[in-house]
Structure 1
Amino acid sequence: MDFHRPFGFLAVHRLSGLVLAAGWVTEPDTGVDPWEALLNRAAEGWAQQDRSGGARPGWPG
């Protein structure tokens, strides 16, 4: 999906017409994908636990 900038957005409750959220985007954040960063942090945590010999959270042992 390609959005041309700048653009505004609204989230509106259909029944009441109440605006729930609104915003304006001029320059998107070009940083790391947040899902990729989350997975990388999780993988680092698992690797650290494996090196320390500790049990993984939620796993018996």
Structure 2
Amino acid sequence: MNVDTSTLTGKLMLTMLGGIAEFERDLVLERRREGIAKAKEEGKYKGRAPTARRQADEVI
């Protein structure tokens, strides 16, 4: 896209696109939180296994 941010219209377009992107990101995060909560209720969600502490001896 050729958006010229030195003009008022370009600034408006950039602001609108940024707002839409932020809205979409928030929707994705909300759906993910709902999915994790549902999986926890069903006992299917265990989360990611912590790796840093398991590898501490190897790193040291």
Q: TM-score, normalised by structure 1?
A: 0.40
> Could you say which structure has the greater relative contact order, defined with CA pairs below 8 angstroms and 6 or more residues apart?
1
**Larger proportion of helix:** 2
Q: TM-score, normalised by structure 2?
A: 0.41
